[in-house]
Amino acid sequence: MYQSFRSVKLVDPQLVDGHLSYFLGAIGITGLTALLGIREKGNVTKGANQTMVVSGAAGACGSIAGQIGRLDGCVRVVGICGSDEKCRALVEDLGFSAAINYRQEDVPARLKECCPGGVDVYFDNVGGTISDTVIAQMNNGGHVILCGQISQYNKDVPYPPPLSDETQDTLRSKNITRERFTVLNYMNKADAALCELSQWVKSGQIKVLETVVNGIGSMGDAFCSMMKGGNIGKQIIKISE
């Protein structure tokens, strides 16, 4: 169905129960990024008593990734995000075990509290200080899913941005993997993954959050707002019924 994301695609409305905007998010590139990132780089194993941490957890990718982590078998999924309202949504609406507001709380202390057995899998959307803090609390043989580094996107640095020596040392000494991940390299797995996402959404096992604004004229403001955390879930621009 998705031959390539660089050309026009024919989509099957049944996959989204008629909710067409899901093709842009949970049952589109966003959901694929979360699912394939976890499957390709996360080494999540049922019965392994793993703890997952997700940064950017209330955003489009992060909100889906945390739910998939739980469905794939992590016993504890902790989200990090930028407001109390987002924390509440993660725990009460999406089933995260706990959530940390990085703007208000002491992230290292709260992580210790929420992840008493350390962190096994880290789905990283943000990079920077938050990621240094999470990686410092990871267990031996852990896995970082390098989804994105949004905290560094306005800096003049290459991708992925260089890590501090301390974080590099932690990765090396604890044998933690952190490989580049680009969803577009796995499009041969897209059709099967979209079916899986569709079933989870239809059955209610994955809940989808969106922030909708009206009119194509709102596009620029909505994009800037998304980059600053104005969205919960996928930022959508509605241009017609």
Interface positions with ligand NAG (CB under 6 A):
49, 51, 116-117, 141, 175, 177
- Residue 49, binding choice from ligand NAG, ligand NAP, none, Cβ under 5 to 8 Å by partner class: ligand NAG
Q: How many CB atoms lie within 10 A of CB 89?
A: 22
- 60 sits near ligand NAP (criterion: CB under 6 A): yes
The residue sitting closest to ligand NAG, measured at its beta carbon, is 117
What does DSSP say about strands 119-124 and 177-180: parallel, antiparallel, or unpaired? Answer: unpaired
Phi-psi group of 56: left, alpha or beta (phi > 0 → left; psi -120 to 50 → alpha; rest → beta): left
- Residue 141, binding choice from ligand NAG, ligand NAP, none, Cβ under 5 to 8 Å by partner class: ligand NAG
- Residue 181, binding choice from ligand NAP, ligand NAG, none, Cβ under 5 to 8 Å by partner class: ligand NAP
Closest CA relative to residue 121, chosen from 137, 106, 105, 110: 137
Q: Cα–Cα distances in Å, from 213 out to 35, 52, 125, 222?
A: 26, 32, 23, 7
CB of 175 to ligand NAG, least distance (A): 4
| Cα distance from N-terminal residue to C-terminal residue, the chain | 24
- 42 sits near ligand NAP (criterion: CB under 6 A): no
Phi-psi group of 67: left, alpha or beta (phi > 0 → left; psi -120 to 50 → alpha; rest → beta): alpha
* Angle at alpha carbon of residue 67, lines to 61 and 72, rounded to 5°: 115
Among 27, 28, 31, 33, binds ligand NAP (CB under 6 A): 33
Phi-psi group of 229: left, alpha or beta (phi > 0 → left; psi -120 to 50 → alpha; rest → beta): left
- 107 sits near ligand NAP (criterion: CB under 6 A): no
Can you tell me which residue has the tokens 């009460």?
Answer: 92
Q: Would you list the DSSP string of 96-111?
A: -SEEEETTTS-HHHHH
Instruction: Please identify, using beta-carbon distances, which residue of 30 and 51 lies nearer to ligand NAG.
Output: 51
What is the x/- site pattern for ligand NAP, positions 177-196, by CB under 6 A?
Answer: ----xxx-------------
- Residue 116, binding choice from ligand NAG, ligand NAP, none, Cβ under 5 to 8 Å by partner class: ligand NAG
Number of chain residues interacting with ligand NAP (CB under 6 A): 27
- Residue 33, binding choice from ligand NAP, ligand NAG, none, Cβ under 5 to 8 Å by partner class: ligand NAP
Q: Which residues bind ligand NAP (CB under 6 A)?
A: 30, 33, 56, 58-62, 81-83, 86, 125-126, 130, 147-151, 181-183, 226-227, 229, 231
